[in-house]
Amino acid sequence: MTSPDRVENIGARGALRRRRSGVVWAVLAVAGLIALLVGDAPRWTRLIIAIPAGLAAIGFLQARERT
């Protein structure tokens, strides 16, 4: 949904850069999770995956909203 007063502050190139960063962080999150699961890391240490997963989400959302 777009509101009439929303202003896009990045162009197509900036959106592409943010989308790429989202993909990179998503790949790092999945690879990290697999490494922690295979390495039988304690359950509480797997929460560290929230950081790259959150950064991936931010990248994708910024690309979609062009902000």
Boundaries of every domain in the chain: 12-65
Task: Give how far the C-alpha of residue 61 lies from the chain's centroid of Cα atoms, to the nearest Å.
Answer: 8
Q: Say what the pLDDT of residue 7 is.
A: 73
Q: Say what the pLDDT of residue 27 is.
A: 98
Answering whether pTM is above 0.85, one says: no
For 24-61, the pLDDT digits (tens) are 999 999 999 999 999 999 999 999 999 999 999 999 99
In this structure, the number of other CB atoms found within 10 A of the CB of residue 59 comes to 20
In this structure, the number of other CB atoms found within 10 A of the CB of residue 26 comes to 17
Residue with the two structure tokens 């950081």: 51
For the cut 80, the answer to whether the pLDDT of residue 5 exceeds it is no
Confidence of residue 1 (pLDDT cuts 50, 70, 90): low
Q: Quote the CA–CA distance of 29 and 51 in Å, as a whole number.
A: 8
